Every structure is written in structure tokens, then in C-alpha cells.
């Protein structure tokens, strides 16, 4: 990787948006994990709707953006194996979302297990992506990118 890989600012801006969404995904993963550990049955039922909303309306568009805009660019730059693995992880998280939708509200154990699995897979996924997606952004001489990247890296390292 070298500075020339950084094409126009649009690439940086796109990466930066994705980076911010990844930071948000990380925070959601922590929230979901806390619920799996601590929420009682009524709270799980209540929060399940918010979780479904997040997965369908925030995480899914984020995945789609990565798959359509970011991953092809990264594959071209040599991250073929990493992109394949990230796409596999997306499929796994989509499978877990479908499973969560099928768990009956009366099944506390099933819901808790679904929350827990989503939290763990999502954390692992954000951590995995943070190891290669932002490589180019690190080279950009824009202080804000550096700040956002260091914050994400600190967050995923701490979890
Ligand atoms: Fe991501
Ligand atoms: Fe992703």
C-alpha cells in the first residue's frame, strides 16, 4: 500500500462514512451483549424489536455498501482473501438475523442465545474489518480520519 492508492477524496469520504458506521456497529454489539447478559425476559422481548430494526435498517445497508462499493476496491488492491472472509461473516450475521426473527417471544433461552450470538459475531466482524478496511485511510493526511481510526481501533482492542 502506498499513498498513490488513495484516489480522490471521494474514496476517503466513503471509507470514512463506513468507518463511522463500523464504530456505531461496535457500540450496538456491546449493547446487544449487555442485553444478552443482563436483560430479563420482558426486556428481551421489548428490545428485540429495536435490535431487528438496527439489523435491517442500519446494519444491512452498511453491509450492502461495503459489498458494493468498498470490498471490490479492496479486492483490487490485493485484499481478496480478507474480502471473502468478510463476505462470509456478513452471510453468517444475516443468517443470525433470520434466526432471531423466528424465535418465539415466549422462548427466553432462545432469545438470549440469539442476542448473545449476534453480539459475539458482530464484535468479531467489526474487529476483523478494522484490521484491513482502513489501511488506505491511515495514509491520508487528514487529522479527522486518523482520529476516527484510532478511536475505532481502541474500541475494538478494548472489547
Ligand atoms: Fe463494516
Ligand atoms: Fe462488514
Interval between CA 86 and ligand 2 midpoint (Å): 6
Per-residue pLDDT of 101-136, as tens digits, reads 999 999 999 999 999 999 999 999 999 999 888 877
Q: For residue 151, what pLDDT is reported?
A: 87
Q: Where are the alpha helices (DSSP H) in 55-107?
A: 60-65, 71-76, 80-102
pLDDT in tens, 60-110: 999 999 999 999 988 988 899 999 999 999 999 999 999 999 999 999 999
Length of the chain: 159
Cell numbers for 17? 462514512
Separation between Cα atoms, residue 104 and residue 86, nearest integer Å: 30
Assign 3 a pLDDT band (cuts: 50, 70, 90). Answer: very low
Instruction: Report DSSP letters for 129-154, one per residue.
Output: HHTTTTHHHHHS--HHHHHHHHHHHH
pLDDT of residue 8: 52
Distance 30 CA to ligand 2 centre (A): 16
Q: What is the pLDDT of residue 2?
A: 42
Measure 4 CA to ligand 1 centroid, in angstroms: 24
- Tell me the average pLDDT across 128-150: 82
d(CA 70, ligand 2 centre) in Å: 10
Provide the pLDDT for residue 1. Answer: 43
Write down the pLDDT at residue 159.
63
pTM of the prediction? 0.89
Task: Write out pLDDT tens, residues 18-64.
Answer: 999 999 999 999 999 999 999 999 999 999 999 999 999 999 999 99
How many A from CA of 42 to the centre of ligand 2?
31
Give me ligand 1 centre to Cα 119, in Å: 14
**CA Rg value for the chain:** 17
Residues measured by CB to lie within 5 Å of ligand 1, the ion: 22, 129
- Rounded average pLDDT over 4-13: 62
* Ligand 2 ion: residues within 5 Å (CB): 66
Interval between CA 24 and ligand 1 midpoint (Å): 10
Amino acid at each position: 500500500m502506498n499513498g498513490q492508492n488513495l484516489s480522490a477524496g471521494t474514496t476517503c469520504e466513503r471509507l470514512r462514512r463506513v468507518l463511522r458506521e463500523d464504530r456505531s456497529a461496535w457500540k450496538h454489539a456491546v449493547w446487544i451483549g449487555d442485553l444478552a447478559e443482563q436483560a430479563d425476559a420482558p426486556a428481551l422481548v421489548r428490545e428485540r424489536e429495536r435490535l431487528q430494526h438496527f439489523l435491517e435498517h442500519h446494519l444491512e445497508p452498511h453491509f450492502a455498501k461495503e459489498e458494493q462499493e468498498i470490498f471490490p476496491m479492496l479486492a483490487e488492491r490485493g485484499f481478496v482473501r480478507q474480502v471473502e472472509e468478510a463476505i462470509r461473516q456478513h452471510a453468517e450475521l444475516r443468517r443470525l438475523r433470520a434466526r432471531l426473527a423466528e424465535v418465539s417471544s415466549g422462548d427466553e433461552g432462545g432469545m438470549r442465545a440469539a442476542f448473545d450470538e449476534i453480539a459475539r459475531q458482530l464484535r468479531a466482524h467489526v474487529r476483523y474489518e478494522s484490521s484491513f478496511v482502513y489501511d488506505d485511510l491511515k495514509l491520508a493526511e487528514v487529522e479527522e480520519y486518523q482520529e476516527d481510526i484510532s478511536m475505532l481501533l481502541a474500541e475494538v482492542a478494548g472489547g
